[in-house]
Amino acid sequence: MRKTLIFIVLFVLIMSNEVVGSSLDLSGQSYILIEENSGRVLLEKDSHKKMAMASTTKIMTALIAIEKGNLDDVVSIGEDSVNIEGSSIYLGVGEKVKMIDLIYGLMLRSGNDSAVAIANHISKSEEDFVSLMNQKAKKIGAQNTNFMNPHGLYHENHYSTAHDLSLITREAFKYSEFEDISNSKVYTGSRERENYFVNKNKTLWEYEGGDGVKIGYTMSSGRCLVSSATRDNMRLIAVSLNAPNWFNDNYKLMDYGFNNYKLYNIYEKDQLITQANVIEGIKEKIALVSEKDFLYPLKEDEIDKVKLTVNISNEINAPIKKGDILGDVEVYLEGSVIRKDNLIAKYDVDRKSFLTRLLDDIRTIYN
């Protein structure tokens, strides 16, 4: 019975998404809209379908470069990093280029030669770098992604999904360096030539709050676009694959998100959630606070459907140290768990001395 109910709920959600998506008149073969902070999926269609993703590949390349590289490194350009097919920043053999300039060239100009130069600098070979990309994808849950190169030129085994690209982008946004690069309309590097890059992502100019991310196009992939925008402290990430009207599609997706959802603070880090009884402590109760912030996008009619459940022991033995994990809080939306966080001790509670405990026992006996 429970499995049948879950299936019905999922079916209703899928049908609801299809109805909304149809009303938006989107051209993409596959798409997804998520809220960045929580990762909540707000709208999707065939988002787990494996597809070619062209230069949106470079989001992962930039992420690995920022994680594994030094942005101040000076990269010596070898023969295997020049004359790469497609978009280019026109690197020359023997040229010395800063890593930060290569990443800007990668993201704004979509330089395929930049991608290869980054890969060869960070790893022993392009193949080793691609292994890092695939390891990172699996680590963050992008299970339907497989990279064969750092730039996105066609290969039959090079693919991702709209869902996975949203996860990769969400991970990249954890780094302020990526935010700065992705949000840059123009950039002037320290090279003597080909040093002025204009971002090809029109989202930054055309969409209110637009702050990223990456375009991609090949004959085999069609038009692919990852866009982001932030309004009222809520960032949305829209991904469309094989979308002839790529920018309009993503703008419609983000319009839907901003028009229908707001970001709510369910609880803040260190916010008092509950109290618990303490056994043999100098205080009878301990305050339990949330370990992390939890913000979540909700429709107006969902606000009253959010419920919190606290799971703690009825009695906790002293001594207790500030920060000790003493339980957890689960957040439900319409009966489904959307979040689980630890509850921690707000302060220390020392154990009573032996003499105090002895006197307490005596009082208990004679009362």
CA atoms within 13 Å, Cβ hemisphere of 149: 22
- State yes or no: is 110 an active-site residue: yes
**Cα distance between residue 220 and residue 158, in whole Å:** 11
Q: Give the containing element (helix H, strand E) for 250.
A: helix 246-260
**Cα distance between residue 244 and residue 247, in whole Å:** 9
Q: Is the dihedral of CA 317, 318, 324, 329 positive or negative?
A: positive
Return the ∠ at Cα 302 (arms to 299 and 304), rounded to 5°: 135
Smallest CA-to-CA distance from 104 within 237, 214, 207, 210 is with 214
Query: Of 55, 81, 182, 227, which is the active-site residue?
Result: 55
**Cα distance between residue 174 and residue 204, in whole Å:** 19
Smallest CA-to-CA distance from 32 within 44, 18, 20, 48 is with 44
335: tokens are 């009966």
User: Residue 76's beta-bridge partner residues?
Assistant: 96
287: tokens are 């305050």
- Cβ contacts of residue 350 below 8 Å, gap of 6+? 281, 282, 318, 319
- State yes or no: is 138 an active-site residue: no
Query: Of 30, 38, 45, 58, which is the active-site residue?
Result: 58
Query: Of 38, 47, 87, 110, which is the active-site residue?
Result: 110
**Cα distance between residue 290 and residue 325, in whole Å:** 10
- State yes or no: is 322 an active-site residue: no
Residue 288 phi/psi, 5-degree rounding, is -110, 130
Residue 356 CA from chain centroid, whole number: 52
What is the CB neighbour count within 10 angstroms for residue 285?
A: 13
Which residues are known to be catalytic? 55, 58, 110
